[in-house]
Amino acid sequence: MVRVGVDENLAEELVAGFPAEAQIVRIPRQSSDVLDVDFWIIPFARKNAQETFRRLRGVKVVQSMMAGIDWIAPWLPKDVVLCDGRGIHDISASEWVLAAILASLKRFPLYRDMQTAQEWRGQAAETGGFLNERGPQIGQYKVLGDDLAGKTVLIVGYGSIGAAIEARLAPFGVNMLRVARSARNKPEVASVGELDKLLPQADIVVAIVPLTPETEGMIGARQIGLMKHGALLVNAARGPVVDTMALVEALQGRRISAALDVTDPEPLPQGHPLWSAPNCLITPHVGGSTPEFIHRAFRFGAEQVRRYIAGEPLENVVSDAGY
């Protein structure tokens, strides 16, 4: 029998698919009792996770249901196996990225603001940004949005979510560039050392890397300066991957636009300049949060427990690299 620790409020239907050899141990959120647990399915980014861990005895495996484990790794003992939620977020996160790209290109935030103000104005070109650039359309019509077709998209952090993003972008006829920790073929993926060379080629840059010491600040003032004028930066990774003040400066200078599901700091405090920066769409770290996500997560958790019981290798074991 393997003791599997879960949150006390977890719905019964989410543990119904666990192996019969798994004894479900419900962990109270407010308690000082010590509990014996072999396999802990850690609650989603719970702030008191470290405190809860101190009340657990015998933990051998910690399974995160989130792709990022930067909030766990610093305090988890090295002799405890840590597995991340890679693959669970592929659908929801990639759909958020696609929606953010389309909303930004089609200027939906601007038009929503106009709707709230009950204004019907085909005058977007007068609001600043990238819609008032001179071009052959001048004198014929105003540019009120942009097309995704034909754009070059650079995915920074080409893992399972990156591949899912590419699959959803493919029908739009975009050109793909890919960067990961190390280069590989089929598809062609450049190493992170090639990032500066690829940034000037991209119309859209999507950051989807895990937060590690190597990725913190990897998109700073120099990288933003290499981006095309009017390019779109999408951060669906972690806030500290992008230098916040460098981003604010570029936005205020109307050099680039941005769509952010994550920020640094987070939560973003009232009065922070990102809130009012032009051409910036912000959502409050909700890209992976959908009703279907939790079902995918616990199906994966059940399969991990089955592997553990059978003595098979676990998936998504976190290495020293942080993922």
Indicate if 29 belongs to the active site.
no
CA distance 186 to 165: 16
Q: How far apart are CA 157 and CA 102, in angstroms?
A: 20
Structure tokens at 111: 């038009």
Would you call 296 a catalytic residue per the annotation? no
**86, 181, 285, 296: which is the annotated catalytic residue?**
285
- Enumerate residues 6+ apart whose C-beta is below 8 A from 237: 68, 157, 207, 208, 209, 210, 211, 215, 262
- Catalytic member of 133, 214, 266, 312: 266
Options 238, 255, 303, 315, the catalytic residue:
238
285 assigned to active site: yes
Residue 157 sits at φ, ψ, to 5 deg, of: 110, 65
Closest CA to 180 of 212, 226, 151: 212
Laid out side by side, the sheet with 61-63 consists of 22-27, 2-7, 39-41, 61-63, 81-83
Q: 103, 112 in Cβ contact below 8 A?
A: no
Backbone angles phi, psi at 254, to 5 degrees: 55, 40
Instruction: Tell me which residues are annotated as active site.
Output: 238, 266, 285
